[in-house]
Amino acid sequence: MKSIIRKLINKKISISVAESCTGGLLSSTITSISGSSTIFNMGLITYSNISKTKILKVNKVTIKNFGAVSSQCCEDMVKKLSNISKSKINISITGIAGPNGGSVNKPVGLVFIGLKFGKKLIIKEKRFKSNIRKEIQKLTVEEVFKMISNLIN
């Protein structure tokens, strides 16, 4: 993770994040690296539906029709974050970290990660096999770094 942040710093690629189920872990991981202040623009924790609609301006109809844990909500989050932050890379995360809150259609461990880099938009669905909250959060952050690495290498 450190080497990926170093590459972002060396390439002067700014990054912003809007996190839900990771609760700030991605922002914390990025900012734990010395020099990250030169590229880390914004970290929003939009945990509730209200924060998603009020801060990010996620469409209420999107949440109503598809739920906060959906590819559609994740996409809206990353696009709206991009409008606010003006960063080169924007990341959104929404999911069910558990151990409660899951359902048959949306089980614990279901996470959506949105990545926007210029005109490139990726929405990735992950189904982590764990029902341990901290593990799901950690695995999600690791997946984000893999996605960033694939993008900038």
Give the per-residue pLDDT at 1: 86
Q: Could you tell me how far CA 110 lies from the centroid of its own chain?
A: 13
In the block, residue with structure tokens 């559609």: 72
Q: Are 7 and 1 in contact (CB under 8 A)?
A: no
Condensed to tens digits (0 to 9), the pLDDT of residues 32-71 reads 999 999 999 999 999 999 999 999 999 999 999 999 999 9
CATH superfamily of domain region 2-152:
CinA-like (3.90.950.20)
Give the per-residue pLDDT at 124: 99
Predicted TM-score of the model (pTM): 0.97
Give the per-residue pLDDT at 44: 98
**Three-class HEC string of the chain:** CHHHHHHHHHCCCCEEEEECCCCCHHHHHHHCCCCHHHCEEEEEECCCHHHHHHCCCCCHHHHHHHCCCCHHHHHHHHHHHHHHHCCCEEEEEEECCCCCCCCCCCCCCEEEEEEEECCEEEEEEEECCCCCHHHHHHHHHHHHHHHHHHHHC
Per-residue pLDDT of the chain (153 residues; tens, 9 = 90+): 899 999 999 999 999 999 999 999 999 999 999 999 999 999 999 999 999 999 999 999 999 999 999 999 999 999 999 999 999 999 999 999 999 998 999 999 999 999 999 999 999 999 999 999 999 999 999 999 999 999 998
Give the per-residue pLDDT at 153: 86
Domain ranges of the chain: 2-152
